[in-house]
Amino acid sequence: MRSAVSVSDFCFAREVKLGTYSTRGPGPPGAVISTRRMLEDARAEPQYGERIPYVVISGPPGSRLIDRCVTPEELLSNPHATLDADYYIAQLIPPLERIFGLVGANVRSWYDEMPKFQLTRRFETLAANPAAPGRPEVAGNHDNNDNGNKTIEWFMPSTICISCNVKMTKSPAVLDVDQDVDRSVVNEGEEPLPLCNRCASDPPSTMAVLQTRLNAEQRKYADVVRVCQSCAGLSPLEVDEDGVPCENKGCPVFYTRVKQRARLGAERTIIEQVVRRLGAKAGHCRENRGCELDW
């Protein structure tokens, strides 16, 4: 439920035998995933009896199980997709009941009564509104706004400061936090930053904290890439921006690398926008009040 698990431990890998399934309904998940791949690339046809890995993700109420089966890469690369914890736990309850039933323990009742953990994810909050100022490339193209694949957190403003992780009791800062300044330094209608007033009032320190966090994520990704690079016997010149060209589904480092790459991309998208606008505020402060920034 906390998403602190290895995706490789939750992968199903069933044999796919295309051409042997009934046409009256959808085939098994592996066959459906293989068909999707073949629609994109006809050369992606699996061999007869090949095992295709897939995972089960959460979906809207009433969605079919077959529609929630995706490849592990799609789960790791999509920030809106999460493992369906209830489904996997439900598969474990029957065998646990047979084991603990010998000592009179009711596993299902224990699971129903235990407090559930709801994970709140942080997305690109500054881009939640496709028509928001500062994003003309999205505002002018509504066809690319695929809201059907986004969760409700995408459309809700963040209540957690991304710098100090403090829950904000008021609306996010709009960079007009200087009490001796009677106007805002951002354009009217611009989306507020996911920062508390204390962090927004100190741009140099906040920018340093956010940049340090981004650098830490970059180092983590670089460390994983070096492990894969050493395993594959590649030189640094053979590793591009996309990382090591290895897709070994049986290697746990593969899932760590893909997950860290997606996390780095999400952090970079959020932090770079905040740092850019904080830098604009710092420049405005120097021009109008001649204040000096202490780095």
Q: Is 89 left (phi over 0), alpha (psi -120 to 50) or beta?
A: alpha
Q: Identify whether 209 is part of a domain.
A: yes
Q: Identify whether 125 is part of a domain.
A: no
User: In this structure, are 75 and 175 located in the same domain?
Assistant: no
pLDDT-derived band at 141, boundaries 50, 70, 90: very low
- What token pair was written down for 11? 């992968």
Per-residue buried b or exposed e for 35-63, using 16+ beta carbons within 10 Å of the residue's own CB: beeeeeeeeeebeeeeebbbbbbeeeeee
| Proportion of the chain above pLDDT 90, given as a percent | 11
Strand pairing report for 12-16 and 50-56:
antiparallel
Phi, psi of 70 (to 5 degrees): -135, 170
CA atoms within 13 A on the CB side of 26: 15
Choose the final residue of a domain: 67, 85, 103: 85
User: In this structure, are 189 and 282 located in the same domain?
Assistant: yes
For the chain, give the longest Cα–Cα distance. Answer: 77
User: In this structure, are 169 and 80 located in the same domain?
Assistant: no
Q: Identify whether 79 is part of a domain.
A: yes
Choose the final residue of a domain: 24, 56, 85: 85
User: In this structure, are 73 and 174 located in the same domain?
Assistant: no
- What token pair was written down for 75? 């789960």
Neighbour-count burial of 192, counting CB atoms closer than 10 A to its CB (0-12 exposed, 13-18 middle, 19+ buried): middle
Q: Among the ranges 49-58, 139-148, 161-170, 248-257, which has the highest mean pLDDT value?
A: 49-58
Which DSSP category does 57 fall into? B
pLDDT at 69 (0 to 100)? 92
User: In this structure, are 51 and 163 located in the same domain?
Assistant: no
User: In this structure, are 177 and 274 located in the same domain?
Assistant: yes
Determine the Cα–Cα distance for residues 271 and 207; give it in Å rounded to an integer: 9
Q: Identify whether 113 is part of a domain.
A: no
Q: Among the ranges 66-80, 157-171, 201-215, 247-261, which has the highest mean pLDDT value?
A: 201-215
User: In this structure, are 61 and 168 located in the same domain?
Assistant: no
Determine the Cα–Cα distance for residues 259 and 13; give it in Å rounded to an integer: 20
User: In this structure, are 276 and 178 located in the same domain?
Assistant: yes
Question: Domain with 15 in it: what CATH number?
Answer: 1.10.132.60
User: In this structure, are 173 and 275 located in the same domain?
Assistant: yes
Q: Identify whether 169 is part of a domain.
A: yes
User: In this structure, are 70 and 191 located in the same domain?
Assistant: no
Q: Among the ranges 154-158, 168-172, 182-186, 240-244, which has the highest mean pLDDT value?
A: 240-244
Choose the final residue of a domain: 61, 85, 109: 85
pLDDT digits (tens, 9 = 90+) for 123-134: 444 444 433 333
User: In this structure, are 80 and 167 located in the same domain?
Assistant: no
In angstroms and rounded to an integer, the radius of gyration of the C-alpha atoms of the chain is 24
Which DSSP category does 13 fall into? E
pTM above 0.75, yes or no: no
- What token pair was written down for 49? 């009896």
Q: Identify whether 92 is part of a domain.
A: no
Mean pLDDT of 76-81: 76
pLDDT-derived band at 180, boundaries 50, 70, 90: very low
Q: Identify whether 203 is part of a domain.
A: yes
**Which of 91, 130, 125, 129 lies closest to 111, judged by CA?**
91
User: In this structure, are 172 and 268 located in the same domain?
Assistant: yes
Total domains present in the chain: 2
Q: Identify whether 66 is part of a domain.
A: yes
Q: Between 33 and 235, whose confidence is greater?
A: 33
pLDDT at 284 (0 to 100)? 60
Mean pLDDT of 181-202: 62
Residue type, 78: N
Range of the domain at 215: 159-289
